[in-house]
Amino acid sequence: MNRRSLIATLTALPVLGLARAGVAQESFRFDSIDGGTYDMAEWRGRPVLVVNTASLCGYTPQYDDLQALHDDYGPRGLVVLAVPSDDFRQELSSDEAVAEFCEVNFNLTLPMTTITSVRGSGAHPFYRWLRDTYGFEPGWNFNKVLLDGEGQLVQTFGSNTRPTSRRILGEVEALIGA
């Protein structure tokens, strides 16, 4: 689908309760910036790196590394999901603008959601689950959350940790059996 033909409504449909640590990745859905929905249940058995992003942030060049991870490790099982958020007031004004910015400047082909809240009471259920179950809430843009194939938290990484850092690559390779 064309990124410009997206539906701007965020749908978050948790299947299971959010407070249990055993809630697996199939519990969450995100609206795709391309239209349609990403159902994390479809990624069962695959590690997933979820990254809250913003187009106007100093860390935005990390999109290049996210795309490289997607290109290099996607065929081996890794899913890289970008979650644009304006919680830190550094995102463009619409999903269409974000999609165009990422396509023109980074030629992104990795999965990307609509603009989504990642903090506070209005946070997407996935991020509320992270906060309530693991005590993790993004402190800034480009925080990274690595899940195993069962949807359980493996590790979180701050904004300063590049997606292609040894720390992240080591965890990813351990999960995909490299």
Give the integer Cα–Cα distance in Å for 59 and 99: 17
pLDDT of residue 153: 95
Maximal CA-CA distance, the chain: 40
Q: Which CATH class is domain 3-176?
A: alpha beta
Among all residues, which ones are annotated catalytic?
57
Return the pLDDT at 95: 98
The vertex-44 CA angle with 69 and 18, nearest 5°, equals 105
Predicted TM-score (pTM) of the model is: 0.86
CA 5/CA 95 separation, integer angstroms: 10
Quick: pLDDT tens for 7-44. Answer: 222 222 233 233 344 444 447 999 999 999 999 999 99
pLDDT of residue 178: 57
Q: Which helix (H) or strand (E) element contains residue 148?
A: none
17 vs 102, residue with greater confidence: 102
Which residues, other chains included, contact 77 with Cβ-Cβ below 8 Å and sequence gap of 6+?
45, 46, 47, 149, 175, 176
The yes-or-no verdict on residue 77 having pLDDT over 90 is yes
Range in 22-31, 58-67, 107-116 with the lowest mean pLDDT: 22-31
